[in-house]
Chain A
């Protein structure tokens, strides 16, 4: 039976207690995207700047549980300064790590708020290179708690939507 230590790893609690990149960038020029978890009412606001194909800055606002907050914080630290193409790969890998139970969740759970659902091509679990995730691998234990997966993926879906919006705006 999964224990709490699988879920609440030290890195997760650290990012929850002292979240990185908190706040909002001025928008415009930054892209601002909101994500909602209709199951629990969590809300996340991702603002990001993309310059020359690189995520030059990102900030996270909103409220949520330790899992959604720490996942967002870890995400912001992981993507800041990285090229968009790498960030998209990282989103895919992260979603892959989280996908094991996700398909068994009720339809509509974790749906994004306004706007189209971002399209993310999720790889098969065995194809995932967990090492490439670095600190993010600490969130791996979340899949043992299926109802919390949506908490962990909320910020990532929101980021993906933001990247899509920037792309389609040209």
Chain B
């Protein structure tokens, strides 16, 4: 794995992008949770890759909806039911526009989370199109959410899974990609590794996959919250992501799919909302996207996600991205300066080539113990396998500690992290 010292060479490139800097101090006031204390220290929240904090604007939007408008959607003719439906569908279109969906009102399926979106593809598309002997290609850096649904199908259907390997810099090894995807029906790839921050070249992978006749399902759980996203430019067929990692509430996620593809798929779950007609002999499925949304959807949560997308949109995802590159660069440089060879960061050496996710090992202190000591200083970092065990095996570790950034983090958070790490080092010396 690349060592953090290599990061210095890219500083100029990062700094010369003419960034309109984020006013983090002001922006932090929008996030009530960030003003709490833990163990007598102001909280330093560095686990946004697991779940982000929510701004008042999101919390208020949900509360306002609940207090003034709530009714079930797509059902009633009375005023508030009609308003609720309109606001729910408006939230859908906001999310669609946020990711550049060609048809925001038809291509956005609300799910429970990214995991459910990927399972929906495996269930509805996979069960229709995959048969014994078919091949699905995944990468070694996928989250379990984009592995296990395919493994379940592999068991059920007798399909084969091929793996795109990860190299020592934490990048996908793509020189043999055309051979790997040859004869495959589907390629599943993450747009940003939740462990290494790696940003695979999705467009290239999609082009090679499509040339081989395979579809591409992309996991946008980490990328959509932190990078400008345009599904047309990405060139993928499906994209799944979660609201709770992008300043929105838990309980809602999104599956985007190309309209003609979604149109060709059978429903996922059965029940109300997903049908046009039901007779004793059978049912007629509803149009997209409702065909995939059986039962009462997470309405308040959709309103919250809509507000989160408004919030991110007002700041601008280019600005968010620049801020996070700058912060990642600062973190890699700071940690290298303070800890030298004692601290190893996994993944790409170039901060501009990765997301704001830093998995690291520190001497031989176990990630659990690092996280425990850091918690005493109010610093929240993740320890574990991050639901990416095949990647952990590739890295040759059982677990890593992981600090991940959001737009509300700044350099002082990195300094606090470094101070707390020094304490952990002293404790286990």
Residue interface mask A1-29, B partner, CB < 8 A = 1: 10110011000010000000000000000
The answer to whether B384 and A39 touch across the interface, beta carbons within 8 angstroms, is yes
Answer whether residue B234 sits at the interface, using C-beta atoms and an 8 A cutoff.
Answer: no
B258 within 8 A of A: no
Whether A43 sits at the interface, judged by CB under 8 Å, is yes
Main secondary structure of the interface of A (DSSP, over half): mixed
- CB-based contact A66/B369 at 8 Å: yes
Residues of B contacting A1 with CB < 8 Å? Answer: 39
Identify the closest chain B residue to A39 (Cβ): B384
- Are the C-beta atoms of B376 and A65 separated by less than 8 Å? no
User: Given B39, B366, B389, B428, which contacts A64 in the complex, CB threshold below 8 Å?
Assistant: B366
Interface residues on B, range: 10 to 19
In the complex, A148 has a CB within 8 A of chain B? yes
Query: Is B296 interfacial (CB-CB < 8 Å)?
Result: no
Residues of chain A within 8 A (CB-CB) of B366 are 64-66, 69
Write the B377-397 contact mask toward A (1 if CB under 8 angstroms, else 0): 000000111000100100000
> Do A41 and B389 have beta carbons less than 8 Å apart?
yes
**Given B368, B373, B383, which contacts A67 in the complex, CB threshold below 8 Å?**
B368
Contact A148 B368 (CB under 8 A): yes
Q: Which residues of A contact B368 (CB under 8 A)?
A: 40, 42, 64-67, 148, 151
Question: What residue of chain B has the Cβ atom nearest to residue A17's Cβ?
Answer: B428
B372 touches A (CB below 8 Å): yes
Cross-chain contact B385 with A41 (CB below 8 angstroms): yes
Alpha-carbon gap, A148 to B383, bound state (A): 12
28 CB-based A-B contacts, threshold 8 Å = A1-B39, A3-B376, A4-B373, A4-B376, A8-B427, A39-B384, A40-B367, A40-B383, A40-B384, A40-B385, A40-B398, A41-B385, A41-B389, A41-B392, A41-B398, A42-B399, A64-B368, A65-B366, A65-B368, A65-B369, A66-B368, A66-B369, A66-B428, A67-B368, A145-B372, A148-B368, A148-B372, A151-B368
